[in-house]
Structure 1
Amino acid sequence: MTVLVTGGAGFIGSHLAEAFLEDGREVVVIDPLDPYYDTDIKRRNIDRCRSVGGDRYEFVDGSITDEALVRDLVSSRDVEYVFHQAAQAGVRTSVENPKKPHEINTTGLLNLLLAAEEAGVERFVNASSSSVYGEMEYLPYDEDHQNVPQSPYGVTKLTAEHYCRVWTDVYDVPTVSLRYFTVYGPRMRPNMAITNFTSRCLNGEPPVIYGDGQQTRDFTYVDDIVEANRSLLETDAADGEAMNVGSTGNITIEELAEHIVEETGADVDLEYAEAKEADARHTHADVSKATDLIGYEPTTTIREGVSRFVDWYRENRDWYEPLVLNS
């Protein structure tokens, strides 16, 4: 079985590729190594997967916006499953430059769906986002909640979901969209709050909170995300569906920062700065649909996951930390 992981040199994509290789599968990764953050992290991800998979792992340096490359890749490698993780991430980034996320997150996805239809893939798994919900009516978010994205990034993710549904309903391509809720863990992007808080604390600097710190997030540990994706190799119960993939609860940003201060043993106080535009005030996932359809059961609490990340960070400071501090 050949699995294609788009964005497979990135954080979530590399964890998926590594898991599939450990399962004994053939894995093809496509990634343009975009310098949105330091590409040395991505190259380490590639090397790690290559060391696990050997000749069962293939890396293709390219973009999903290249339609000809995508079509050739899916057909010539006899791809059976596509795990689509490639995206221009970042709510704030999309506000500053909406065109790039549209090209990658919407046009790039369409290229992949066309190729998947042509090649007759068995399943197409699309990485979506809690950003599709936008303005909160109630918590936790369930899949019946209104979708009013508050950023261009959220718009592209919702558009991608609709494309996937149509490709299932009209073109008979089995698709599933997983709405991720703030994924974190080892090798995560260095411009995320958990990474920045940890870096500052370990260097004797106070964590900087944007806003009053009472905004909440449903942080999801990457191992739980991997298991949700992995389950879709075994079941077809969720074809055409979109579903939440979150954690066991949520936490205020202030509590998160305080927990990281405690875990690192830093002797610092919290600092506050002006809130950032387009950031959601609260997120919290109702995962009952994913539990019913694919047996999803998150196992890592936010405090447990953050503690694991801090331990990993300490062990990898020699290569990871300078990239964080310079990001």
Structure 2
Amino acid sequence: MNVLVTGGAGFIGSHITNALLENGHEVIVVDPLDPYYDVGIKDRNIKLCRKSSPERYTYVDGSITDEDTVDRLFDEYNVEFVFHEAAQAGVRTSVENPHKPHEINTTGLLNLLEAAVDHDVRRFVNASSSSVYGHDEYLPYDEDHPTTPRSPYGVTKRTAEHYCRVYTEIHDLPTVSLRYFTVYGPRMRPNMAITNFTSRCLAGEPPVIYGDGQQTRDFTYIDDVVRANLALLETDAADGEAMNIGSTGNITIEALADHVIAETGADVEPVYDDAKEADARHTHADVSKARELIDYDPTTDIRDGVSRFVDWYEDNREWYAPLVRAS
């Protein structure tokens, strides 16, 4: 099958791409290598994917905000299936510059949906986010929980979900939106808490906690996220739906920092700084819907996942750590 992965040079996109190649699919990746974080990590992702299957991997340097580029991709490569991972990420950065996430996460999505309809794509999988929930009225979040995003980023992700649902209803385009809960693992973005904590601890510096440390997060290991996406190649369930993809557990940021300190063996104590604007206080996923529709079963506990990441970080420190420290 010819599969388009938007944002396929990024963290989640490159892992999905690797899995698709391992399963024998032709994969077309489009990514503009935006320097939101060090593009050296993205270059490495491209090389890893190309090396795994050079004859079935195609990389296109382009943006989904350009209609001509999108149309050319669907025409030239006969796209049958789309994993839409491209986005301007970042809750905090979206507060500072809301126009960029709107252009990429909303206008870019519309360009893809229009092309998908025109080319009779078999299914369009949209990467959404737990940021659509915003204020927690109860925990864990199920998909019926009110969606009151606290950031422009969250607004764009919720808007994208609505567009996908509408295109399913009026154009019969099969779409599914997966609400990711703080994905982490090897090659993750350097501006995430786990990366920052690990980097600082291995450098003998204290991890910095923003706020009182009692805020909680549902961290989801990358392998679980990849399995959820690939399950949608095998079933026609969930068309027009949005569903949570989380770990089913959560942890305080303070406990996370303590665990990273223990795993790295660092002789440091966390330090505290002011809380960041627009951050959710708590996240926690109810994955019952995904379990029912796509047999989703997350297998990696946060403590096990952090241990894996620290081991990976130390093995790849020569190239990854300098990029993290510079970002």
Find the aligned partners of 1:60 and 1:40 in 2 and give their Cα distance.
17
* C-alpha contact 1:106 1:159 (8 A) present in aligned 2: yes
Question: Residue 104 of structure 1 aligns to which amino acid in structure 2?
Answer: I
In the other structure, the counterpart of 2:93 is 93
Find the aligned partners of 2:151 and 2:216 in 1 and give their Cα distance.
18
Deviation at 1:31, TM superposition (A): 0.1
In the other structure, the counterpart of 2:227 is 227
Question: Residue 202 of structure 2 aligns to which amino acid in structure 1?
Answer: L
Question: Residue 169 of structure 1 aligns to which amino acid in structure 2?
Answer: E
* C-alpha contact 1:125 1:175 (8 A) present in aligned 2: yes
In the other structure, the counterpart of 1:118 is 118
Question: Residue 8 of structure 1 aligns to which amino acid in structure 2?
Answer: G
Deviation at 1:48, TM superposition (A): 0.3
Deviation at 1:75, TM superposition (A): 2.4
Aligned with 1:127: secondary structure?
strand
Find the aligned partners of 1:123 and 1:214 in 2 and give their Cα distance.
40
Deviation at 1:186, TM superposition (A): 0.2
Question: Residue 230 of structure 2 aligns to which amino acid in structure 1?
Answer: R
Find the aligned partners of 1:153 and 1:175 in 2 and give their Cα distance.
21
Question: Residue 61 of structure 1 aligns to which amino acid in structure 2?
Answer: D
Cα offsets for 1:211-234 (capped at 9, x unmatched): 000000000000000000000000
In the other structure, the counterpart of 1:215 is 215
RMSD value over aligned CA atoms? 0.5
Aligned with 2:296: secondary structure?
coil
Deviation at 1:65, TM superposition (A): 0.2
Question: Residue 187 of structure 1 aligns to which amino acid in structure 2?
Answer: R
Question: Residue 246 of structure 1 aligns to which amino acid in structure 2?
Answer: G
* C-alpha contact 1:75 1:115 (8 A) present in aligned 2: no
In the other structure, the counterpart of 2:159 is 159
Find the aligned partners of 2:52 and 2:324 in 1 and give their Cα distance.
26
Find the aligned partners of 2:71 and 2:287 in 1 and give their Cα distance.
34
Deviation at 1:71, TM superposition (A): 1.2
Find the aligned partners of 1:55 and 1:194 in 2 and give their Cα distance.
35
- The structure 1 segments of at least 4 consecutive aligned residues displaced by more than 6 Å after TM superposition are none
Cα offsets for 1:8-62 (capped at 9, x unmatched): 0000000000000010110000000000001010000000000111110000000
In the other structure, the counterpart of 1:108 is 108
Deviation at 1:248, TM superposition (A): 3.2
Question: Residue 174 of structure 1 aligns to which amino acid in structure 2?
Answer: P
* C-alpha contact 2:7 2:86 (8 A) present in aligned 1: yes
2:42 matched to 1:53?
A: no
In the other structure, the counterpart of 2:32 is 32
When the two structures are aligned, how many residues end up with a matched partner? 327
Find the aligned partners of 2:20 and 2:303 in 1 and give their Cα distance.
27
Aligned with 1:54: secondary structure?
coil
Question: Residue 109 of structure 1 aligns to which amino acid in structure 2?
Answer: L
* C-alpha contact 2:248 2:284 (8 A) present in aligned 1: no
Question: Residue 143 of structure 1 aligns to which amino acid in structure 2?
Answer: E
TM-score normalised per structure 2: 0.99
Q: Which runs of 5+ in 2 are unaligned?
A: none
Question: Residue 39 of structure 2 aligns to which amino acid in structure 1?
Answer: T
Aligned with 1:170: secondary structure?
helix
- Write the mapping of 1:138-149 to structure 2, written as runs, cut at 5 A: 138-149=138-149
In the other structure, the counterpart of 1:69 is 69
* C-alpha contact 1:248 1:300 (8 A) present in aligned 2: no
Sequence identity percentage: 76
2:5 matched to 1:5?
A: yes
Find the aligned partners of 1:53 and 1:17 in 2 and give their Cα distance.
10
Q: Which runs of 5+ in 1 are unaligned?
A: none
* C-alpha contact 1:248 1:299 (8 A) present in aligned 2: no
